[in-house]
Amino acid sequence: MTAAGAAVTTLYVNNAAGSNCSDAGSGTKAAPYCHVTAAAAVVLPGQTVDIAGGTYNDTALTITRSGTAQAPITFRGPAYDVNNPGMNAAHISGGAPNHPDNGIVVLGAQHVRFQDLAVEPSGQRQAVVLDDAHDVSFTRVNAWGGGVKIGNGSTGVTYAQSQFGYTSGPLFQVDSGATGTVISTNVIQVSLAAGSSGVLANDAPSTVVVSNTIRGNCWPGIVLTGTSGGAVVENNVVDTSLDGGKACGASASDTGISVDATSTGGTKVDYNVVSPLSGGPAYSWAGTAYTTQQAFTAASGQGGHDFVATDDFQNKAQPSPVIDSADETAPGMIGGDAWNWPALDDPVVPNTGTGSGFRDRGAQEFQDFGSLFTPAGPTRLLDTRAAIGVPRAAPLSPYGTVDLQVAGNAGIPADATAVTLNVTVTDPKQDGHLTVYPYGDVLRTSSNLNWTAGTTIPNLVTVPVKDGRISLHNHSPGTAHVIADLAGYYSAKGSVFTAKSPTRLLDTRTPIGVPKAAPVGANSTLDLQVAGVGGVPADGVTAVTMNVTVTDPQQDGHLTVFPHGAQQPDASNLNWTAGTTVPNLVTVPVKDGKVSFANVSFGTTHVIADLAGYYSAEGRDTFRPVGPSRVMDTRETRYFEDGSNRPAGAVPARDTLVISFGEMPETTSVTLNVTVTEPGGPGHLTVYPHGTTAPDASNLNWTKGQTIANQVIVSVQDKKVSLYNASDAPVHVIVDLFGYQGP
């Protein structure tokens, strides 16, 4: 019940069991109507008819009541869920099969809105018919088995963000003097039935056909005939081939866009993508057929920004002509695509459209891309010894967690998807390990650093960012200080990563990268040329990722890797005690084509650097942060997607472990945290692309009984990577996935 004198703004329709519905009732939420027709018979200007999810067999649902320009009538189903389209939808049925009828008829009404509905006509009738309708809009009103007919002088009709298919005749037919019709951002699947087509405007001036995706099945895509001049045909994707790629017969009516001579006046055709796969003409203009965009444009002056090309998003070898190339200023453009996804800027595709430049053509906005990397720092974001990133100076408590704000800090943007940090644990009181994971997620079983009491140990960590934060958990019964130095972040803008097989750029023992074999002197710096070396381009490189190893150090100390020419920062990438061999993955900005290594120690040490990849403006790969998730633990039985399994057991001496990423999307490289534990003797592990020869490089080095972890970025081949145990004793290996690169 409403308060006395209060205007009723919503009428409810709900025929679900227990809804207490009645068509003779008042249409309140407590006592809704059973049929949409009951609400349509009484609805007033400014009111909304709220239709619950379900199926409504409303034979001949005819809308005759009008709203006003200031107070339209609205028929609305459950809010559209982009993650579950079609779920809990309100289905309007045209009646039983033996009583065929249209779905929705708007007869002589004006100022009416329809949204978030599914229409199911029966007996091959129309899903929607508009007869003498004015200022009527349909948003996300889907139909399969029936089309839309707009005629009898209708004006100002808009149909947008909807999906149609499989009916005889045109999916959209605009005729009989209808003017100002807008058909925008719809997915139109033409039937194989005779006489089908995507959009047919006949004697319908000023029709706007923009941003639709039309699959023609050997029937015409868009046709303007009769007195249909003044039309706009822009940003559409038209493919008239059979079943998405097969050529049509010689007699097929498979022209992509057809404009008769009587409809060319004032008509604009541009920014469309027309597929050539049908084998038929891409265009017909004033009776002349054209198979190429160049010929069409030369003859008609139209289609200067068109492409005759396939629109396949999955062709990752080169950008689709659909992506980031639409005319955003075209009339009738809608804010989202047919699934209501917003326009997103593909970070590796040039923005060639108008306006923002990154609207896609057709009804689908491409969403399947990751992030790009911006090298930064090293900048200290966390130091529990000095109250940096925490409210006071204090070690991380036993089994304690610190949540670290990263977005908005040190230039990290709010849309950052992941950060790369060099994380160091120092002065731990008990053995343990550190887990770095997205803020708010369930604590994972993965580990990023493993230590014994009293040691100082670093590791590079790439971790997804959630709500602008990350979390670091001390999995130890003792306290430990934690330090985190920023190496870079992933976001919508930045550089593209190109993975390289491990390639040695520096070895002071050999010499490689230095003029003579000699260790790096105590408290001295070594400059290394990386641009133009080992597959790294000579120009345009913003950062490199290397596995850096220190061996045979004469005194305790640490190594700092930083951009050449920059001031040496107060940060460490590797920490060691005299005589040990320690590796760590390092991502460092490149300046003047070089990077620098500072040996902060009172003794000499040898340094080795193996290239894992580089960042630049070139390439198609973007980063998708995931997990962390455990993909291998040789201490446990591991099952694979093909039904096979690897029984628990250490990797034997001088043997190779292969890990499959077969369930993942197309992947060029993976970011892993690899841990070695319970080694039977000293040795090292090499991680490399499957099917290639193990390189002379190491990712982890250990002594007998030591547990050691290191981040690894490795190219994927055949969706697999290999791990070689280069030691004379078995060793257990644990692998956690933190992200992957792919086109």
Enumerate residues 6+ apart whose C-beta is below 8 A from 537: 531, 614, 616, 618
Phi first, then psi, for residue 44 (nearest 5°) are -115, 160
**Residue 583 Cα distances to 455, 715, 737, angstroms:** 15, 19, 19
**Distance (Å, rounded) from C-alpha 82 to C-alpha 595?**
46
Decide if 372-491 and 496-616 have a common fold.
yes
pLDDT for the residue 629: 85
pLDDT in tens, 262-321: 999 999 999 999 999 999 999 999 999 999 999 999 999 999 999 999 877 655 556 789
The total of other beta-carbon atoms located within 10 Å of residue 154's CB is 28
Q: Which amino acid is at 426?
A: T
Q: Domain boundaries in the chain?
A: 1-121, 147-368, 372-491, 496-616, 622-742
CA atoms within 13 A on the CB side of 149: 19
Distance CA(328)–CA(358), nearest Å, equals 8
What are the beta bridge partners of residue 209?
A: 183, 233
Q: Would you call the peptide bond into 628 cis, given omega within 30 degrees of 0 as the criterion?
A: yes
Query: Concatenated DSSP letters for 331-361?
Result: TT--SB-TT-PBP---TTS---SSTTS-PPS
CA dist list (Å): 419 to 237, 372, 491, 566, 604: 37, 11, 9, 22, 33
Q: Which CATH class is domain 622-742?
A: mainly beta
Q: Which residues lie across from 273 on neighbouring strands?
A: 237, 307
Looking at residue 161, what is its pLDDT?
A: 97
Report d(CA 256, CA 215) in Å as an integer: 10
Answer whether 140's CB lies under 8 Å from 116's CB: yes
Q: By three-state DSSP, how is residue 99 classified?
A: coil
591 in Cβ contact with 564 (< 8 Å): yes
Find all residues with CB under 8 Å of 198, minimum gap 6, and list them.
170, 171, 172, 188, 190, 212, 214, 216, 219, 220, 221, 222, 238
Give the pLDDT score at 514: 95
* 673 CB-contact burial (10 Å; exposed 0-12 / middle 13-18 / buried 19+): buried
Q: Could you read off the pLDDT of 313-346 as tens digits, one per residue? A: 655 556 789 999 999 999 999 999 999 999 999 8
pTM as predicted: 0.82
CB-based burial label for 132 (10 Å; 0-12, 13-18, 19+): middle
As a whole number of angstroms, the distance between CA 217 and CA 247 comes to 10
pLDDT at 155: 98
The listed CATH number (3.40.50, 1.10.260, 1.10.3470, 2.60.120) that belongs to domain 496-616? 2.60.120
| Distance from C-alpha of 313 to C-alpha of 471, rounded to nearest angstrom | 36
CA distances (Å), 484 to each of 422, 459, 501, 515, in order? 6, 10, 28, 34
The span from the first CA to the last CA of the chain, in angstroms, equals 57
Fold designation for 372-491 = Jelly Rolls (2.60.120)
Cα separation values, 296 from 125, 241, 263, 291, 681, Å: 37, 20, 16, 8, 73
**CA separation, residue 471 to residues 327, 427, 444 (Å):** 43, 20, 11
Looking at residue 5, its pLDDT comes to 42
pLDDT of 251: 85
Please list the ranges in the chain whose pLDDT falls under 70. Answer: 1-7, 81-87, 94-100, 123-124, 244, 313-318, 639-644
